Amino acid sequence: MHRLLTALGRGFKEKIGWKRLGIAASLLIIVFAVTTLVRTLKGVDTGIILTALTEIAPHRIALAALCVVGAFCTLTFYDFFALRTIAKTHVPYRIAAMSSFTSYTIGHNIGATVFTGGAIRFRIYSDYGLTAIDVAKICFLSGLTFWLGNLFVLGLGMAWHPEAASAMDLLPPAMNRLIAIGCLAGIAAYFVWLLMGEGRRELGQNGWKVVLPSARLTLLQVLIGVVDLGFCALAMYLLMPMTPHIDFVSLAVVFILATLLGFASHAPGSIGVFDAAMLVALPQFSREELLATLVVFRILYFLIPFGISIWIMGTRELWLSVLQPWLERRRLGEACTAKARVRPPIKGRQS
pLDDT per position as a tens digit, 230-265: 999 999 999 999 889 999 999 999 999 998 888 877
Domain ranges of the chain: 26-57+142-319
Report which of 203, 196, 198, 190 is spatially closest to residue 151, judged by C-alpha positions. Answer: 190
How much is the pTM? 0.80
pLDDT tier, 5 (very low <50, low <70, confident <90, very high otherwise): very low
DSSP type of residue 244: S
pLDDT tens-digit series, residues 126-162:
989 999 889 999 999 999 999 999 999 999 999 999 9
Residue, of 209 and 296, whose pLDDT is higher: 296
**To 5 degrees, how large is the angle CA 23–CA 28–CA 33?**
130
The maximal CA–CA distance of the chain, rounded, in angstroms, is 113
* Whole-number Å distance between alpha carbons of 71 and 73: 5
Q: CA Rg, the chain, in Å? A: 26
Contact by Cβ (8 Å): 279, 312? no
* pLDDT of 2: 47
Strands (E), the chain: 202-205, 208-211
